[in-house]
Amino acid sequence: MSFLRKYIFSTDHKMVAKQFLWSGLLFLLIGGLLAMVMRWQWAYPGDPVPWVGELLFSESDGSVTPASYTGLFTSHGLIMVFFAITPLLIGAFGNFAIPLLIGARDMAFPKLNMLSFWLTALAQLLALVSILMPEAPSAGWTMYAPLASGEGAPGQGQTIMMIAIFVVGVSSILGAVNYITTILTMRAAGMGMMKMPLAVWGFFLTAVLNALFIPVLAIAALLLFTDRVYGTHFFAPAIGDPVLYQHLFWLFGHPEVYILILPVWGILGDIFSYFARKPAYWYRGSVYSMIAITCLSGMVYGHHLYQTGMGPMVGTAFEALTLAISVPSTILFINWLCTLWRGSIRYELPMLFALGTLVVFAAGGLTGLYLGPITADIYLHDSLWIVGHFHLIMAAATLMGSFAAIYYWFPKIFGRMMNDKLGVIHFAGTLSFAILAFGGMLLAGYEGQGRRLFDPFQYEFIVHLRAVNLYTSYAAFAMGAFQLVFLVNFIWSLFFGRQAEDNPWQAPSLEWTTSSPPPHDNFTRDVEVFHGPHELGNPEVLKALGKDWLAQNEVGP
C-alpha cells in the first residue's frame, strides 16, 4: 500500500482508531487549556493570563474580558463534549476494540468507517477555525435560542461552530450504523449476545443512542443555522418558540451523558473482572441495567427544563423518571463492588484508573440526586453545584475511564507497555486534584455561586467564596499539570516502552488471543467461541492447565 492509503485514507479499523485517538487527544489538550484560562480568571479576576494572555487577548493586554470569557466557556464545553471525549472514547476505542472483541476481521463498512473519521476531522478543523475568529462562539455550549440565532452571539465564529456540530453529528450517525451492524452480524461463531464482553455492550448501546438522538441534535442545529443565516423564525420569540429548541437540544443532550458513559461502564465491568481474577458478578444483571438506562435516557430530559414553566404534572413525571433511572445505575455499581469483593486484585494501571472512575462516578451520581426533584433543582439550577456534578460525571468519570482504556489497550494497539511509575504518578495526581477541583465547585454552588459569571466577586454575597475559588483553581492547575506526566509517558512509551506480550494482563477476551499489535486481518484463522468473556478463577482450569483463566476461544478441561 502507498503511504496515503495505509496511514491517511486507511479503511483498517485499527488505523482509523489511531487517527481518532490522536485527534481526540489533541482537542483534549485544547479544551483543557481553555479550562485553565477560565480557572485563572476566577482565581485572579482581571489579571493578565501568564504566558498566553497577550497572544489570546491582545486587545486587553492579556486579561480576560467579559466577551472573551463567554467565548471561553462556550468553546471549552463544545470542544470537550463533541471534539475531544467523543472521538477519544467512542471513535478510537470503539473502532479498535469492537472487531477484536467479537472476533471479526474488520468493521462491517470499512469505507464508511474512514469517512466517519474524516468528517470528524473536518468538524474539528471547523471548530478550531471558529474559536480563532475575532468573534468566537459565545452562546454557551447549549447554544440556546434566541441568543445563538440573534444579535446576542455576533460574528462568524458562532455560525461556523454550528456547521461543525452538524458535521460531527453526521459522522456520529455513520459510526453508529457501522457499530450496530458489525456487532449484530459479524460476531464469531458461538458468540451469542450474552457472551459478549461488557465493553461491547457499552459500545453497542451507545451506538443505538447515537442513531436515535444525534439526528435530533442535527435537526436542531440546522434549524438554528437557518434562523441565524437565512432569517427564518423557528425559534424567534415573536413568531416561533425558543423553548422548542431547548426540548430538541435536551432530547439529545441528556442521552449524550449516557452516550459517553456507557462505554466506560462496559470497560469498567470487564476490567474489574480481569484484574480481580473472578467472573463479573451477575453479568446479565449488568447488561439488563445498561439496557434499562438506555431506554430511560430519552425520557428524563425534562429535568433540564423545570424552570421553563412546564406544568406540575409534566414536571412530576420527569422527576419520577429521573429518580427511577438511578435504580439500574445503582445495580451496576453494586455489581462492580461484588466483583471486587474478595477478589485476588492486581493493582495494575488499568485497574487503578478503573477504581478511580468508581470513586468519582459515585460522587457524581450522589450529587446528581439533588437535581432530580423540582424543589431542589430550582435553587441549584445554574449554580456551580450543577457544574461540579456535571464535571464529576462527564469530565472526571469519562476521562479516568478513557485513561483506564488507554492503559489497558495501549499494549495491544502499539505493542509496547506504558511506564508503571509514571502511570501511578499520573493516576494519583489526576484522582486527587479532580476531586478537589470539582468538589470545590460543589461547595461554591451550595453557597450560591452562579455559573458563567465573568467575575463572581462583584456580587457581595459571593465575596467570601474568593478563597474557595482560588484553591479550586490551584487544584485544577495541578490536575492539568499531571496530564503532562501522561503525555510524556504516552510519547516515551511509543518509542522506548517495554515490548508487550501478546496477553500481558492474562485476560480471556478475544483481542488478547492474537499478536500485539494485531495483524492486518486481526486473526490468522476464523475464531470460534466456547465461553463467556469472564472465565476466571475456575479451580478445574487451574488444576488442568496451571492458570486461572480460559480464553473465549479455548476449549476447557
**HEC per residue, 395-445:** HHHHHHHHHHHHHHHHHHHHCECCCHHHHHHHHHHHHHHHHHHHHHHHHHH
Q: How many domains are contained in the chain?
A: 1
Whether 36 maps to a domain, the answer reads yes
Of the candidates 317, 368, 318, 362, the residue with the CA atom closest to the CA atom of residue 336? 362
| Rounded CA separation 463/457 (Å) | 5
Of the candidates 92, 429, 525, 93, the residue with the CA atom closest to the CA atom of residue 270? 93
Whether 4 maps to a domain, the answer reads no
DSSP strands (E only) in 464-551:
none
Lowest-confidence range among 280-289, 311-320, 345-354?
311-320
What confidence category does residue 2 fall into, taking pLDDT thresholds of 50, 70 and 90?
A: confident
Whether 41 maps to a domain, the answer reads yes
C-alpha cell of residue 493? 512509551
From residue 433, alpha-carbon distances to 35, 180, 276, 428, 472 in Å are 14, 37, 26, 8, 9
pLDDT digits (tens, 9 = 90+) for 41-52: 999 999 999 988
pLDDT at residue 26 in the model: 97
Q: Residue 551: pLDDT above 80?
A: yes
Q: What is the mean pLDDT of residues 277-294?
A: 97
pLDDT at residue 57 in the model: 85
Whether 62 maps to a domain, the answer reads yes
Contacts of 464 (CB under 8 A, 6+ apart): 447
Of the candidates 204, 80, 211, 75, the residue with the CA atom closest to the CA atom of residue 143? 75
| Rounded CA separation 394/386 (Å) | 12
Whether 254 maps to a domain, the answer reads yes
Whether 465 maps to a domain, the answer reads yes
Whether 1 maps to a domain, the answer reads no
- Report the percent of the chain where pLDDT is more than 90: 90
Q: What is the CATH number of the domain that holds 446?
A: 1.20.210.10
| Amino acid residing at 457 | F
pLDDT digits (tens, 9 = 90+) for 327-375: 999 999 999 999 999 999 999 999 999 999 999 999 999 999 999 999 9
Domain that holds residue 178: 11-545
Residue 484: count other Cβ atoms within 10 Å of its Cβ: 12
What confidence category does residue 535 fall into, taking pLDDT thresholds of 50, 70 and 90?
A: very high
Biggest alpha carbon–alpha carbon distance for the chain: 77
pLDDT digits (tens, 9 = 90+) for 68-103: 999 999 999 999 999 999 999 999 999 999 999 999
What confidence category does residue 476 fall into, taking pLDDT thresholds of 50, 70 and 90?
A: very high
Whether 118 maps to a domain, the answer reads yes
